Structure 1
Amino acid sequence: MTYRAPQGRATVRIGTAAWSIPKEHASAFPAAGSHPERYSAVFNAVEINSSFYRPHRTATYERWAASVPEDFHFAVKAPRAITHERRLRDVSDLLDRFLSEVKGLGRKLGPLLIQLPPRLGFLAGVADCFLSELRTRIEGSIVCEPRHASWFTPEVEALLAELRIARVAADPAPVSGADQPSSWRGLAYYRLHGSPRIYYSAYSAEYLAANAERLVCDAAAEVWCIFDNTAAFAATNDALATKALVQGKRIEPAS
Structure 2
Amino acid sequence: MPPVYVGCAGWSLPREHWPLFTADGTHLQRYASQLTAVEINSSFYRPHRPQTYARWAESVPATFRFSVKMPKLITHVQRLQDCESLLEEFLSQCTALGDSLGCLLVQLPPSLAYDEAVADAFFSALRQRYAGPVVLEPRHESWLNADAVLVEKRIGRVAADPSPIPGGDAPGGWPGIQYWRWHGSPRIYHSNYDRDRLENLAQHMHLATQARSVIWCIFDNTASGFAVSNAMTLRAMLADPDHRS
Q: Please, what TM-score do these two structures have when normalized by structure 1? A: 0.92
1:90 and 1:48 map into 2 onto residues whose CA distance is 24
1:235 and 1:45 map into 2 onto residues whose CA distance is 13
Q: 1:172 aligns with which of 147, 159, 162?
A: 162
Q: Does 1:209 align with 2:221?
A: no
Which residue of structure 2 aligns with residue 126 of structure 1? 118
1:147 and 1:171 map into 2 onto residues whose CA distance is 12
1:250 and 1:201 map into 2 onto residues whose CA distance is 26
Superposition map of 1:85-96 within 5 A: 85-96=77-88
Q: Is the 8 A contact 1:188 1:220 kept in 2?
A: no
Q: 1:181 aligns with which of 171, 174, 185?
A: 171
Indicate the SS of the match to 2:200: helix
2:225 and 2:116 map into 1 onto residues whose CA distance is 39
1:35 and 1:95 map into 2 onto residues whose CA distance is 29
Q: Does 1:227 align with 2:209?
A: no
Instruction: Tell me: higher relative CO, structure 1 or 2? Use CA pairs within 8 A at least 6 residues apart.
Output: 1
Task: Give the Å deviation of 1:164.
Answer: 0.5
1:145/1:59 Cα in 2 relative to 1: closer, same or farther (>3 Å)? Answer: same
Structure 2 unaligned spans of 5+: none
Q: Deviations over 1:64-108 (max 9, x none)?
A: 000000001100000011111111121111111100001110011
2:194 and 2:96 map into 1 onto residues whose CA distance is 37
Which residue of structure 1 aligns with residue 138 of structure 2? 146
Amino acid at match of 1:39: Y
Q: What is the number of residues matched between the two proteins?
A: 242
1:64/1:250 Cα in 2 relative to 1: closer, same or farther (>3 Å)? Answer: farther
Q: Deviations over 1:198-237 (max 9, x none)?
A: 1110111110111111111212420000001111111111
2:98 and 2:51 map into 1 onto residues whose CA distance is 11
Q: Please, what TM-score do these two structures have when normalized by structure 2? A: 0.95
Which residue of structure 1 aligns with residue 231 of structure 2? 239
2:187 and 2:242 map into 1 onto residues whose CA distance is 32
1:236 and 1:106 map into 2 onto residues whose CA distance is 25
Which residue of structure 2 aligns with residue 5 of structure 1? none
**Percent of matched pairs sharing the same residue:** 50
Q: Is the 8 A contact 1:216 1:249 kept in 2?
A: no
Indicate the SS of the match to 2:117: coil
Q: Does 1:196 align with 2:192?
A: no
Structure 1 unaligned spans of 5+: 1-8
